[in-house]
Amino acid sequence: MALFIHFFQNADSNLRMLLTRHLCYSAVRVRFAPSPTGKLHLGSLRTAFYNFLFARAHEGRFVLRIEDTDQTRLVPGCAEQFERILGDFGLSPDESPVSGGDFGPYTQSKRLQIYEDAASQLLESGHAYPCFCSSKRVEMLRKAAARSGALPGYDNLCRSLDPSEARQRLAHGEPYVIRFKVAKEPVDFQDVVYGPLSQLMEEGDFVIVKSDKFPTYHFANVVDDKAMKISHVIRGMEWIASTPKHVQLYRSFDWKPPTWIHLPLITRDGSKKLSKRDADAFVDFYTKDKGYLRLAVLNFLIRNGSGIRNFEPNRLYELKQMIEQFDDTLIGRRNFMMDHESLEFYGRQAFRYESFETLLPEVLARLEQDIPDVNPALKHPDYIRKVVDFLLNHEEAFSMLSSLTTGEFRFFFAIPTTADGVLAKFDPEVARTLLRELLDSSTWNLDSLKAIAKKHKLAYPKLFNLIRLSIIDSSSGPPMSELFEFFDRSECEKRFSHMIELIAKRTNV
Ligand code: GLU
């Protein structure tokens, strides 16, 4: 020890800082603890991300624990999907239901014995008691409180039950829950982001074990954080209201609570909390629906620089750089704003930054999802590289892959399926004659196209519009010269002939 102190005192300041940091955080273990009740929420991804950054920045362990004790809300397959999504984002946990670890099982429904033992401990020490009140009575109390404008809660009736009566009722198999005796005094605790907090719990003794013998969230969460040696609890600030319950549970067991780090709310405009009804509240919206690259979504989640040292707002960070510059003492209280403009910005940057090897599987997966019957030749890496190069060279605003399969650039992979666009602007006979003439013309350059337009007494931009509509089913989009350059003559001929057929089908001629 003396040797270490000597070494420490003589080390240079950088090394001293590193050693101090290492000693303070020597056993960092953090966890992401979602309930598998549906699609992954953007806020949950942010929580997982910050836990991951924290673990990596402090050389700790990142744990995924599935909190499935509310069996009524369970969605099958959801837990596995969460873990897959984390992996896709590059945030794979070190310990989890799939990868295992020294503190498993990592799914709460497989740990029931642990909670039962912990509850017995609290019953024995007098911190908890069995409650036989029917759900009807509890509901009545809730309604009465609502009528009088009071806080809903339990009136602690069974707390004063004679122990021998309680034992008798238990022996008779009467249904019961286990409640925790809540302290009358306010509970004080320290949060890294929100500072010292003090909260009086007025809703009475809360349930820790339900009548189905499953623990409640609060109880299982605390018991597991302790059992899994979680050093820091990093989660959304909506959990601050539950923290006094957790702090009291820790005290009743005589356990040291973890360090609390609550992250500010995710809002649309700085104040209103994001609603679960909003499509963009879920991760799927960004990845599956819109096709933003995952690096763009991660940058979006740190867009206000919270927790990043020397944050530069107009820069796309790689995950590695985020880890290097992560500093939890810089996590601010300012609510996160869903600013879709910055998402667009990061979407554009990420598309430009990512390698073709990263983009290729993303594009193929989108094709599989949106255009399953795509011509196999168009799935060839060489063709996809040609498309990507086109976008990089000509489309500065390109930001999300969905526009390749369901939006304005779908034409790269699918030919027009209706003649509606053409027929809205052209007489069917005129359109067909012009398209046939194009097929017959041996060259397509400005002069030859102008000559065809002139022959039919048409302003040449109108002919260009017909060409665009026949190739890409839109009057806007890349200039015609770029389209001719991209598609070879045979592909254009194919699309012109196809349009002639579509017109024939629509007009029955
Ligand atoms: N199961 C809780 C959730 O769904 C975990 C909250 C916490 O991190 O303590 O978010």
341: Cβ–Cβ under 8 A, 6 or more apart, which residues?
A: none
Percentage of the chain exceeding pLDDT 70: 95
In-domain check, residue 173: no
Give 454 Cα–ligand 1 centroid separation in angstroms: 70
Residue 278 lies in a domain: no
User: Ligand 1, closest atom to CA 235?
Assistant: 8
| Any atom of ligand 1 within 6 Å of the Cβ of 33 | yes
pLDDT for 133 beyond 80: yes
Smallest CA separation from ligand 1 atom 2, residue:
34
Mean per-residue pLDDT of the chain:
92
Per-residue pLDDT at 305: 75
Do you know the residue count of the chain?
509
Which of the pair, 23 or 66, is modelled with greater confidence? 66
- Catalytic annotation, residues: 276
Query: What separation in Å is there between the alpha carbon of 300 and the centre of ligand 1?
Result: 22
- Cα angle 130, 136, 139; round to 5: 95
Whether ligand 1 lies within 6 angstroms of the CB of 67 is answered as yes
Binding site membership of 69 for ligand 1 (Cβ less than 6 Å)? no
Where does the pLDDT of residue 427 fall: very low under 50, low under 70, confident under 90, or very high at 90 and above? very high
**Is the C-beta atom of 216 inside 6 A of ligand 1?**
no
pLDDT at 1 over 60: no
Domain annotation covers residue 150:
no
175 belongs to a structural domain: no
CA of 334 to the centre of ligand 1 (A): 21
Q: Is residue 468 part of a domain?
A: yes
d(CA 312, CA 304): 9
- Which residues have CB under 8 Å from 36's CB, separation 6+? 66, 67, 68, 74, 75, 78, 79, 82
Give 282 or 276, the one with higher predicted confidence: 282
Other beta carbons within 10 angstroms of residue 408's beta carbon come to 15
pLDDT, tens digit, for every residue of 194-205?
A: 999 999 988 899
Q: Which of 233, 235, 247 best tests ligand 1's pocket when mutated (most atoms within 8 Å of CB)? A: 235
Answering whether pTM is above 0.85, one says yes
> Which candidate, 403, 408, 419, 426, places its Cα nearest to that of 483?
408
How many separate domains does the chain show? 1
The span from the CA of 342 to the CA of 340, in Å, is 5
Range of the domain at 477: 415-507
Q: What is the pLDDT of residue 71?
A: 87
Please name the amino acid found at residue 239: W
Any atom of ligand 1 within 6 Å of the Cβ of 258? no
Q: Give the residue whose CA is nearest to atom 6 of ligand 1.
A: 33
Mean pLDDT of 111-131: 97
pLDDT tens profile 319-349: 999 999 999 999 999 888 888 899 999 999 9
In the reported structure, the alpha carbon of residue 342 is separated from the centroid of ligand 1 by a whole-number distance in angstroms of: 28
Q: Is 242 in the pocket of ligand 1 (CB under 6 A)?
A: no
Q: What is the pLDDT of residues 452-461, one digit of tens each?
A: 999 999 999 9
Domain CATH number, residue 472:
1.10.10.350
The residue written with tokens 């979680």 in the block is 230
458 domain residue, yes or no: yes
Residue 476 lies in a domain: yes
